[in-house]
């Protein structure tokens, strides 16, 4: 057993000092069974406040790790949002959003006939909806400047990110 069991309260406690956008961590019900298979799952809820917004969720991902070695999969369960790994620098975050605007300029897209958010879907395709991060000795094996981001592309909304930890 490489992870210590945590109850719901402990998960919530880990959020005490987290950014207010991240509302809560939801341990999924089969956690105990999955632990025996050396898998742990978790969801976080995120409340975004803008139409497009980049939110650093590295600490939330780290909160489900204690020790052990494996991989963590972060998966975005939405079609107008994404997940990526890069630097948390204010100018770069603006550059990324500006690049997406340039690649998907305002115009009439086919999907706009359905719900007027084709640009959000197209940007989400460019960002991608998952990231796989190595875990070593209970720590995300990120590079010095790497952080895990949730990318809101059609906010403000209530969002979820699902994590799966596979470990030795
Ligand atoms: Zn749509």
- What pLDDT sits at residue 167? 86
> Taking all residues of the chain, what is their mean pLDDT, rounded to a whole number?
86
Task: Give domain 8-167's CATH superfamily.
Answer: YjbQ-like (2.60.120.460)
Write out pLDDT tens, residues 40-94.
Answer: 899 999 999 999 999 999 999 999 888 788 999 999 999 999 999 999 999 999 9
- Cβ neighbours for 57, distance < 8 A, ≥ 6 positions apart: 22, 44, 46, 74, 148, 149, 150, 161
**Residue 112 CA to ligand 1 centre (angstroms):** 7
CA 118/CA 115 separation, integer angstroms: 8
Q: Is the pTM of this model over 0.85?
A: no
**Residue 156 CA to ligand 1 centre (angstroms):** 14
Question: In the chain, what percentage of residues exceed pLDDT 70?
Answer: 78
- What pLDDT sits at residue 20? 63
**Residue 121 CA to ligand 1 centre (angstroms):** 6
Show me where the domains of the chain are located. Answer: 8-167
CA atoms within 13 A on the CB side of 68: 19
With a cut of 70, say whether residue 156 has pLDDT above it: yes
Outline where DSSP puts E strands in 10-157. Answer: 22-27, 39-47, 53-56, 70-76, 81-86, 130-136, 139-140, 147-152
- What pLDDT sits at residue 4? 46
CA 141/CA 162 separation, integer angstroms: 19
Write out pLDDT tens, residues 122-135.
Answer: 999 999 999 999 99
């Amino acid at each position: 057993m490489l992870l210590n069991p945590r109850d719901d309260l402990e998960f919530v406690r880990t959020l005490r000092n987290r950014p207010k956008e991240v509302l809560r961590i939801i341990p999924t019900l089969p956690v105990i069974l999955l632990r025996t298979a050396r898998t742990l799952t978790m969801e976080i809820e995120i409340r975004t406040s803008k139409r497009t917004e980049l939110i650093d969720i590295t600490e939330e991902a780290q909160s489900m790790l204690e020790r052990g070695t494996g991989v963590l999969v972060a998966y975005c369960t939405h079609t107008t949002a994404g997940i990526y790994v890069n630097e948390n620098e204010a100018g770069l975050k603006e550059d990324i959003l500006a690049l997406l605007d340039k690649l998907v300029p305002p115009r009439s897209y086919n999907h706009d006939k359905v719900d007027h958010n084709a640009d959000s879907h197209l940007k989400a395709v460019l960002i991608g909806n998952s990231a796989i991060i190595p875990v070593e000795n209970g720590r995300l094996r990120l590079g010095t400047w790497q952080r895990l981001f949730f990318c809101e592309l059609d906010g403000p909304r209530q969002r979820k990110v699902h994590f799966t930890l596979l470990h030795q």
